[in-house]
């Protein structure tokens, strides 16, 4: 092994096939992006996102997750909660609650974890958006697309019956534009078919030069729930079909708009080991 090689301990998980690598060894924060870029590549461990597990800063939390792009990620939080539950020896059929301190949000998030035969089912309380505002998307009627704003992210939800290549190209162009103009760690464009209940999530993390059609997106699913709740003026409980499988979203609604958000999905631990990178 070369002298400048760094060993990286990792666990690879599949939260609704949104392949996630969690780095469990400790590294300098300044090396996070370099490590993540190498792990993400098809010639390396290969995943859609990378997070780093560290000690919590909140007294409520058992563990902390710092994403490589400094963003908040719902699926990665559920992945870490499942990993933590497994390390606690949670038996099949048993449930526990894991509190995660996460990048991209000021408040720790709570995840209920149930160990099932096929892995773990997680139900995560999500941060509420700052606001939901109209935002045009080419070829879509007014009122059928909106920007769901968070302090660290924006997710554009677009209602469209077909997700053909023309629409996908427009989604990628819009995500690139928002990434260049909004100044947030993560941008998402969520193509949603309201008849089928299908969601195609596209994620742009500008600091990592990462633009990916993900198999599922927890934060995007929550943004969809917020959009649907704001549009209907009431609560939402629905299952959302994505390329990696189904996720559930619940949105509470009150006089001030969306008052609570929760997502649910299945997580499997698929691999663990040591990777070698150059930093």
Which residue reads 């103009």 in tokens?
181
Can you point out the beta strands (E) in 17-160?
Answer: 20-23, 49-54, 63-67, 95-102, 109-116, 119-126, 131-134, 145-150, 153-159
Mean pLDDT calculated for residue range 170-184:
97
Domains, the chain, with CATH or none = 5-124+267-278 (3.10.310.10), 131-264 (3.10.310.10)
Structure tokens at 253: 């609604």
The pLDDT of residue 1 is 59
CA distance 124 to 110: 6
201: closest CA among 17, 38, 44, 33?
A: 17
Residues forming beta bridges with residue 113, ordered by sequence position = 96, 122
- pLDDT tens-digit readout, 82-97: 999 999 999 999 999 9
Q: Backbone phi, then psi, for 256, in 5-degree steps?
A: -95, 15
Structure tokens at 206: 């500008």
Residue 43 is given by DSSP the state T
- 3-class secondary structure for 82-122? HHHHHHCCCCCCCEEEEEEEECCCCCCEEEEEEEECCEEEE
- pLDDT tens-digit readout, 17-53: 999 999 999 999 999 999 999 999 999 999 999 999 9
Coil/strand/helix, residue 228 = helix
Residues forming beta bridges with residue 124, ordered by sequence position = 111, 263
Asked if the model's pLDDT at residue 3 lies above 70, the reply is no
């Amino acid at each position: 092994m070369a002298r400048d090689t760094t060993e990286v301990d990792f666990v690879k998980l599949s939260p609704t096939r949104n392949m996630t690598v969690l780095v469990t060894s400790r590294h300098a924060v300044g090396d996070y992006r370099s490590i993540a870029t190498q792990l993400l590549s098809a010639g390396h461990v290969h995943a859609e996102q990378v997070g780093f597990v560290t000690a919590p800063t909140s007294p409520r939390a058992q563990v902390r997750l710092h994403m490589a792009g400094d963003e908040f990620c719902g699926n990665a939080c559920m992945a870490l909660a499942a990993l933590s539950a497994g390390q606690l020896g949670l038996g099949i059929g048993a449930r526990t609650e894991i509190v995660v301190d996460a990048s991209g949000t000021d408040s720790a998030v709570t995840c209920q974890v149930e160990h099932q035969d096929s892995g773990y089912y997680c139900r995560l309380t999500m941060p509420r958006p700052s606001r939901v505002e109209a935002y045009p998307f080419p070829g879509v009627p007014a009122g059928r697309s909106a920007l769901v704003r968070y302090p660290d992210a924006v997710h554009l939800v677009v209602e469209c019956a077909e997700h053909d290549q023309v629409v996908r190209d427009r989604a990628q162009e819009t995500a690139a534009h928002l990434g260049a103009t909004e100044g947030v760690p993560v941008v998402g464009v969520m193509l949603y078919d309201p008849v089928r209940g299908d969601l195609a999530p596209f994620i742009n993390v500008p600091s990592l030069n990462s633009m990916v059609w993900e198999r599922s997106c927890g934060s995007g699913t929550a943004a969809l729930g917020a959009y649907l709740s704001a549009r209907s003026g009431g609560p939402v409980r629905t299952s959302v079909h994505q390329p990696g499988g189904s996720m559930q979203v619940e949105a509470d609604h009150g006089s001030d708009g969306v008052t609570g958000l929760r997502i649910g999905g299945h997580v499997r631990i698929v691999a663990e080991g040591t990777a070698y990178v150059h930093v």
